[in-house]
Structure 1
Amino acid sequence: MSRDIKIAPLTAEAFAPFGDVLNCDGDPDKMINAGLCGRFHDRAKVDCDGQVGISLFRSELRALPYQLDLVERHPLGSQAFIPMSMDSFLVIVADLDLRPQSFVTAPGEGINFHRGTWHGVLTPLSGPGLFAVIDRVDDGPNLEEHVFDVPFRVVR
Structure 2
Amino acid sequence: MIKTLTIEPLTREAFAPFGDVIESEGRDYFMINNGSTRRYHQLGEVQLDEQGRGIISIFRARTLDYPLAIKMLERHPFGSQSFIPLFGHDFLLVVAPVGDGGMNIDPASVRAFRASGRQGVNYHRGVWHHPILALRDDDEFLVVDRSGPGNNCDEFFFDESVQLSLELG
Same fold (TM over 0.5): yes
After TM superposition, the runs of 4+ consecutive aligned structure 1 residues lying more than 4 A away are none
Q: 2:130 aligns with which of 117, 120, 145?
A: 120
Percent identical residues: 39
So what's the TM-score if we normalise by structure 2?
A: 0.85
How far residue 35 of structure 1 moved from its aligned partner, in angstroms, is 2.4
Give the RMSD, CA atoms, in angstroms: 1.6
So what's the TM-score if we normalise by structure 1?
A: 0.92
Mapped pair 1:144 → 2:149: no
- Structure 1 CA distance, aligned partners of 2:2 and 2:147? 38
> Which segments of 5 or more consecutive residues in structure 2 lack a partner in the other structure?
100-104
Distance 1:73 1:27, change over 3 A: closer
How far residue 64 of structure 1 moved from its aligned partner, in angstroms, is 2.9
Matches within 5 A, 1:4-153: 4-26=4-26, 28-49=28-49, 50-95=52-97, 96=99, 97-98=105-106, 99-126=109-136, 128-150=138-160, 151-153=163-165
- Structure 1 CA distance, aligned partners of 2:146 and 2:125? 10
Q: Deviations over 1:76-107 (max 9, x none)?
A: 01100111111010011012343311000012
- Structure 2 CA distance, aligned partners of 1:62 and 1:24? 29
- Contact between 2:68 and 2:165, CA under 8 Å: does it hold in 1? yes
- Contact between 1:69 and 1:152, CA under 8 Å: does it hold in 2? yes
Q: Deviations over 1:92-148 (max 9, x none)?
A: 101234331100001221000000000001001126420111010113121110011
Paired letter, 1:26? G
